[in-house]
Structure 1
Amino acid sequence: MSEDEARERILRAAEGLYYEKGYAAVGMDELRTAAGVSLRRLYALFPAKSDIVAAVLARKHDEWERALSGAVAVAGSPRERLLAVYGYLEDWFCTDGFRGCAFINAFGELGGTNPEVARIVRAHKASFQAYMAELVTGIGAPASLGAQLAILAEGAQSTAAISADPEAAIQARGAAEVLIDAAVSRAA
């Protein structure tokens, strides 16, 4: 098995285990077994568990950005593109095994004790707010609306994870429509 293949197997296993069981609950031996690599190989590629967590979060960030921008890109008008964010969330919340946002989960478990995890999570959330601000400018509204809409999306993620109810995305979309309409009417 090549180094790239071993790395991919480790990260895929870590992503699944961390999302299912939590970051703190998964030890290196369990991860090694799930990935099908030796402990020596695991530590050669990732000298510390924090290195694996950081790599998993980097993958999740890229996955999130690709999937979200793909969902937004197929929407029509700038307003529809903004609302497509909530359609994407609803689809995600309906997937089997949905356990919330991997970044919120990581921050909740490790953010207080691991400054690198806290930095990664903050960067991811800032990136999402910047993306929303970019979408908002397309409708002629102030960029501050982007932060408000991002907070609605974040709240929907937490609510859906806790309640196991994808309806949170629909409710967030309804609130987003009110905010968008108010911002557009003020700008006009």
Structure 2
Amino acid sequence: MSTMATTNTTLTGERADLFQALANARHFLRFTVQGLSDPQAAQRTTVSELTLGGLIKHVSAVEKQWQEFMVKGRAAMAWDGVDFSQMPPEAIVAFYNEFRMQPDECLDELLENYTQVAARTDALLAEADLDVIHELPSAPWFTDTHWSVRRTLLHIIAETTQHAGHADIIRESLDGQKSMG
């Protein structure tokens, strides 16, 4: 049986495993930006629009949105029912800016925000009923119609892991440093 101590709670079994998987993904994402200046964190190094600071910003925003879903369900999702083809230009710009570190942003602040978001997710993981099921919002990228809190946490883990891999490629392109291997 797995056991994991969080700030105020000792998690066991499935919760400890979920916590550890998320902690590992977060570690690699944070490790990838270690020692970077703000200009480096904002630099595009591939044909992608993604930057290292932008990935930290995006993962924080996505994790925060899924936290709200775990608590409030479908109603918490701002894009529920949005016709993406009818989005005003400023909304499209705001969406793409979520993936970019802006000139007035600094990496340390983005990381601190990520720490705060992560702490709330960890608290939800420790306390939430993993079997509660919420209807997913209407969106073209969902094939299922409902997710449990457990499935939502698995999605956060997958999203964080995927973006840690993106970050590793961007960092290697920036200065040759690799998070692994």
Under a length normalisation based on structure 2, what TM-score does the superposition of the two structures give?
Answer: 0.26
Between Structure 1 and Structure 2, the one with more helix by share is 1
Under a length normalisation based on structure 1, what TM-score does the superposition of the two structures give?
Answer: 0.25
Between Structure 1 and Structure 2, the one with more strand by share is 2
